[in-house]
Amino acid sequence: MGLKQIVIDAWGWANYKPVYSDPRGMPNRRAFPEAAASWVPAGDERRIAAYKLLAAYVNNQAAELAQYTNPDADDRREFGDPSMFVETTLANLLGREQTITVPGAEQAGTADETVDQAMAERVQTLLRAWAEDELLETRILQTERKAVTLGDGIYLAAWDPGKKRVRLKSFDPGFYFPVLGEDDDGADYPTRIHLAWDLPEDPKKGLKPRLRRITYELDWIRPATASGVDRDGRAVRAPLMTEATDTEPAQPAIGPGDIPGADGFIARQYPWHDDLSYTTCYLTDATWDLGDLKAGHDVDDLPMAKARYATNANGEVLDRLDLMIDFIPVIHVPNTVPEAQEHWGTSSLAKNLQTFDEIAGTDTDSAKASATTGSPILAVSGRAASNRRSELTVTPGMVVELGEGGRMDSVDTSPQLAELRNHRTDLAERAATVARLPAVSLGTVNPSEVPSGYALEISLGPLASLIGFMRLARAPKYDLLLKFVQRLSLAGQAPDWEGVTVQRARLAFGSFTPTDKAAVLDQVVKAFEAGVMSLETAIRTLTEAGWDMDDAETEIAQIQSRRFEQARFLADATGSTEAVGDYLGLDIEPDPAPPVVQLPATDETLPESEEPEQPEEGSPGR
C-alpha cells in the first residue's frame, strides 16, 4: 500500500478521521453512501460527506460513524458539547431580534418628507408585514442553524399565487449543487443551480428509489411554450406557434409583452429595471428512477429522455418554465467569508473536532473510573473465620467476618477520576478558546466573579470579532434576499405592491452582548440634549440596547407630540402653524388674521383745535 494521499481543501480539517479520509483521501463509502451516489459530482463528494460528519457530531452520533473503521467506538460517551457550541454561536450571531430597515424610512412623515423617503417608508412597512406573515424569524433560525453547523445555508424564494405572497424555504446545503466553471470566481453568482436529493423506495405506492432535481437556469428569452405531451405520453412543454396564413407559414409565438429585436434576440421590460433585459430564469422540476441512471452521468447532465416532469398548481409543466424574472431566486449563505476563488463557507465546529474527540474520550474514561470509585475493588486477606471459601459480593450493610490476622483493603481510584475531570475542564477551555466563545457567553462563569463591566467587555472581545466577521459574510446575502422578495412581489402583481420602486433593504441583527441599559440611557440623553445625536438615532440606540419599543416611528411621533417647548421654538423660528401641527401630530387651525393696531395720535397728527394746552410759566409740569 502506498502513502496516503493528502488533500488540502475547504474540508481538509476532517482528514484526521480515518472514516472520512481513506488512503486516497476520500470518505468511506459505507459510512457515507449519499456522497458516493453515482449522480453526485466527484468534486462534491467530500463536501457532502463533511456535512454528514458534522451533523453526526451535533446529534451525538459521531461514534456510530467511527465504528465503520473502529469497532470498539461503540462505548464512546457524547454529552452534547458540539450542540452547545452551535446554539451559543447561533444565539450570539442572531442577537435579541432581527429588524428590516430601509434607509430613509425614518425621515418619512416629517415636514420636509421627500418622495424617496415616502417610498422607503412604504417598502419598509410592506417588508415587515411580509416577514410577519412568512414567519421570517423561524426561517432565519432554520437556515442559520444549518450554516453555523455545516458551513452553508440555502434559501429558496418563490411566488405563491394561492397565498398572494412570496414564500421562503430553507434547504439543506447537501441538496445544493451550483454549476461553477473552471474559470469562474467562486464569489460570482452561478447562472445554473440544482437542488437535488434521493427519494426512498415506497413499495406500497409501487415507487422505486428515485432522484429529484429542481433546476434554475438563466438563459436567453425564447419563444413562448405551453404544456403538452410527447409521443410517450410524458408531460412536457411544447413551443406555441402562430396561425399560418396564405403568405406566411406558422412561426414560433412571442410571449405577451416580449419585444422581438431586429438582431433575432427577444427583449423584455421588467418593472425593476429601466433598461430592456434579454435574459430570463427557467425552472425545471423532474424525477428519475435511480435504476435508469448509468455511470458517467452526474447531477448536471442527467438523461432528459428518462425524466418525468412535475406540474405546478396552475397545471403548468415544469420543463424549462419561464418564470418571467431575470434572476435565480436561490440564496447561498456561507457561515464565513469564503477563501479567495472559493464558494463554500466553513463550519463553526470545523477547527474543534479533534478537541471534541478528546473531550468524548475523557468523558468515556471518567465514566469507567467513576464505576470503580463508586463501587471500589476490595481485597480480603488472611484466614477466614469460617471454612467457607467463596467470592464475596459486598452490599450495603454487609458484615464480613475476618479471622485472626485478616484484613480488608480497597483500591482507591478517586485521584485518577479527579485528574480526568481536571483534564476535561482544560479541554473544554481549549475548545472555547479555539471557537472564540468566552466563558461568560457559554454560561460557565459566575456573574459575581466578574470584577467590572469593563473587564466583561474586554473578555467579550474575541466573540465580538467572531460575530463581526460572520455578519460580514451574511450582509450582502440578506440584502439580496430582501431585493428578491420585492421583485417577486412585483412580478406576482401583488395588490399592495403596485407602483412600488425596489429599495435597498437590510436585515439588522440585534445586540448580543450584555448591556448596561442605565448607562446607555444616560449616554443617549446627554448626547441628545447636547445636540450631537438626533432623536431617530437615540431611539435606535435604545432599541439596540434592549429597550422594548414596538415601532421606532410611532415612538418618535409620541415623543414629539408632548414636546410643547420644542414646538414653541419651532413656531418662533418658522412662524408656521402648519409646521407646528405636523411636529406635534395635531390638526391645528391657522390663527385668524390679527386686527389692525390703532396707534394713538401724536402731536404732528392732532388738528389745531385739539393741540394740547401749554402749562403756565412757573407751574409744575405734568
Closest residue by Cα to residue 460 from 524, 511, 425, 522: 511
Which one, of 131, 136, 106, 137, lies nearest residue 540 by Cα?
106
Structure confidence at residue 483 (pLDDT): 97
Q: Which class for 128: exposed (0-12), middle (13-18), buried (19 or more C-beta within 10 A)?
A: middle
Dist. CA 444–CA 431, nearest whole Å: 13
Question: What's the chain's length in residues?
Answer: 622
Burial of 255 (0-12, 13-18, 19+ CB in 10 A): middle
> Per-residue pLDDT averaged across 132-137, rounded?
95
Beta strands in 142-278 (DSSP E): 152-160, 165-171, 176-178, 192-199, 210-220, 225-229, 235-239, 259-260, 266-267
Total Cβ atoms within 10 A of residue 127: 22
What's the gap between Cα 567 and its chain centre? Answer: 43
pLDDT digits (tens, 9 = 90+) for 506-532: 999 987 876 656 667 888 888 878 878
Question: Residue 2: its pLDDT value, please?
Answer: 58
User: For the chain, what percent of residues have pLDDT higher than 70?
Assistant: 83
Whether pLDDT at 450 is above 70: no
- β-pair partners for 158: 167
How far apart are the C-alpha atoms of 440 and 446, rounded to whole Å? 8
Task: Read off the pLDDT of each residue in 473-496 and give the average, rounded to a whole number.
Answer: 95
CA dist., res. 106 & res. 126, Å (int): 15
Confidence label for 387 from pLDDT (cuts 50, 70 and 90): low
For residue 293, give the C-alpha cell. Answer: 441512471
- pLDDT digits over 89-119, tens only? 999 999 888 999 998 887 776 666 788 889 9
Residue 284 has pLDDT above 80, yes or no: yes
CB 276 within 8 A of CB 269: yes
Question: All 3 cell numbers of residue 365?
Answer: 474514561
Q: What confidence tens digit (pLDDT) does each residue in 299-336 have? A: 999 999 999 999 998 899 999 999 999 999 999 999 99
- Cα–Cα distances (Å) from 603 to 195, 266, 497, 609, 610, in that order, read 99, 91, 73, 12, 9
The rounded mean pLDDT for the chain is 85
pLDDT at res. 175: 97
pLDDT in the model for residue 397: 67
pLDDT value, residue 622: 42
Task: Grade residue 591 by pLDDT with cuts at 50, 70 and 90.
Answer: low
Identify whether the C-beta of residue 299 lies closer than 8 Å to the C-beta of residue 254. Answer: no
Instruction: Reply yes or no on whether the pLDDT at 616 is more than 70.
Output: no
Q: What pTM value is reported for the model?
A: 0.80
From residue 128, give the alpha-carbon distance in Å to each of 327, 476, 548, 562.
23, 19, 17, 28
pLDDT for 570 beyond 50: yes
* pLDDT score of 560: 65
Which of 78-87, 339-348, 535-544, 545-554 has the least mean pLDDT? Answer: 545-554
Q: Write out pLDDT tens, residues 398-426.
A: 677 776 777 777 777 778 888 888 888 89
Residue that wins the pLDDT comparison between 456 and 537: 537
Q: Which residue has the higher pLDDT, 295 or 496?
A: 496
Higher-scoring residue by pLDDT: 215, 546: 215
Which segment of 169-173, 245-249, 598-602 scores lowest on mean pLDDT? Answer: 598-602
Grid cell in block for residue 146: 444549518
**With 50 as the cut, is the pLDDT of residue 389 above it?**
no
- 420-431 b/e (C-beta count within 10 Å ≥ 16 → b): beebbeebbeeb
Q: Which among 615, 203, 526, 149 is positioned nearest to 350, based on CA atoms?
A: 149
pLDDT band at 546 (very low <50, low <70, confident <90, very high): low
